[in-house]
Amino acid sequence: MKIVAGNSNRQLAQAIAGYLDSELTQCAVRRFADQEIFVEIQENVRGEDVFVVQSTSFPANDNLMELLIIIDALRRASARRITAVLPYFGYARQDRKSAARTPISAKLVANLITEAGADRVLTVDLHAGQIQGFFDIPTDNLYAAPVFTRDIKERYETNNVMVVSPDVGGVVRARAIAKRIDAPLAIVDKRRERPGESEVMNIIGSVDKRHCLLVDDIVDSGGTLCNAADALLSMGAISVTAYITHGVLSGGAVARITASKLRELVITDSIETTSAIRAAHNIRVVSIAPLLGEAVSRTALEKSVSSLFD
């Protein structure tokens, strides 16, 4: 088994390799003067089971091209099987035609990864479950729920906790965590006027005198979380903490979160954290390296991955 890392999240790739008591495969990823990407695999991978760890986060297009070129280089180096390990799958929010004459970019990216030569895909908390069907190769969608559940149980008395979905679309994800900690579920009813902006309309469920835990897959601008926190506190919540898998946190999101009434934002290291995130007093990062490492090990040994969540 070989583990290859692109430049998007080397820290996570090294943590996965450490969990597996292994080393990252020597691989040079550099750019020519005109910013064309060049990849050289510097170890023999002929006949090997290779796992490429690369999040397609900002800069999304550069990191996606790195992934595709690494996969192509491994295929041409006669790797036996190539698994694309995508802690964060970019373009996942473009999973349908939201208006006339718009693309379904998630399907396009799935096609690109398949055509590049990937044999399998391993990812975490896809924005929409149906994206698994966009790939014509086996795709395992892992969940951060066990990681978050463990953290919640260590920090809260769950008999006074309310799990909250920040929108109707995230109810299934929030319910999964609510079921694990035996807590009730509330829903934020919101209206989104344009991408990146939202207005909270109502809270479905009683949150009075409870610690509220907002659960979602992606935090980008942070506007939804901040509005939801304000609404929950106005309805009598004691505190509001957000558990979000992918901390995209673009633009002024970190400053917005820092200045908000959120007690804490907990994200995973699926996307490499910036210095601003590390400096924020109310943003904390939990690692999914053990989760991904165990999934990689089970894939290599042809064992069940779904049993991780039983």
Round to whole Å and give the CA distance between 3 and 21: 11
Binding residues for Mg(2+): 127, 167
Binding residues for D-ribose 5-phosphate: 192, 216, 220-224
The one catalytic residue in 107, 153, 190, 209 is 190
Binding residues for ATP: 34-36, 93-94
Residue whose pair of structure tokens reads 């907002």 in the numeric block: 214
Half-sphere exposure of 86 (CA within 13 A, CB side): 31
Q: Which of 124, 130, 104, 132 is nearest to 54 (CA)?
A: 124
Active site residue 2: no
Burial of 172 per CB tally in 10 Å (0-12, 13-18, 19+)? exposed
Half-sphere exposure of 237 (CA within 13 A, CB side): 27
| Residues annotated as catalytic (active site), given as ranges | 190
